[in-house]
Amino acid sequence: MFDIAAILERLVFWMPAVLVGLTFHEYSHGWVAYKLGDPTAKHAGRLTLNPIPHIDPVGMLLLFVAGFGWAKPVPVNPYNIRGDQLKGLMLVSLAGPASNVVVALAGTVVLAFVGFNSVLTPLLSPVILVNLILAFFNLLPVPPLDGSKILAGLFPGARGLLQSLEQYGLIILLVLVFSGAIGALFRLVIHPIYVFLLQLAIGF
């Protein structure tokens, strides 16, 4: 049975953070691809900070109901990328998580500026946490997450193995979620960094 109160809380306090995080993540993919010579995202209307084109309705619904979802992936044509395609795809993939780290740090700076007693605090702290989650989750080397393409760029010999695993990507992710591995990532890596950033904001 769904917890209606928890869903409403996510909608009010967490939806802005999710929209900001997903939008910057997908936009950054498209922007770096465009700078490397691939206009596919631009032609698809995805080179925008308007969150609507980036929303996958099913992924967004599941995100708030089940806590696990996705955005609409930005289309990238590797054949348009200038130079080394693997390195180019690595940079395009890295741009998404990197943008989330930047947004989390920006949220920390704003929170330090407005103070913890501000009416904005219930909105800013989710921005920090959600963007940390998006950054580290997407760095997992599991296809089709960004981490798999980053790994392929760093170690071209792993490309074949990663491509062969892509058809099982969703299954692998579900296993990681329900086995508690993602929970361990949150407890051991993401949450300590989140607490550290909050302490930084308090210290300013």
Q: Which residues are part of the catalytic machinery?
A: 26
Q: Which helix (H) or strand (E) is 34 found in, with range?
A: helix 15-35
Q: Which two tokens stand for residue 137?
A: 């989750």
- Angular region, 81: left φ>0, alpha ψ -120 to 50, beta rest: beta
The rounded distance, in Å, linking the Cα atoms of 106 and 164 is 38
The letter for the amino acid at 177 is: V
Query: CB of 100 within 8 A of CB of 131?
Result: yes
Cα angle 89, 93, 94 (rounded to 5 degrees) comes to 115
162 contact partners, CB below 8 Å, separation of at least 6: 141, 143, 148, 149, 151, 152
Query: CB of 97 within 8 A of CB of 138?
Result: yes
170 contact partners, CB below 8 Å, separation of at least 6: none
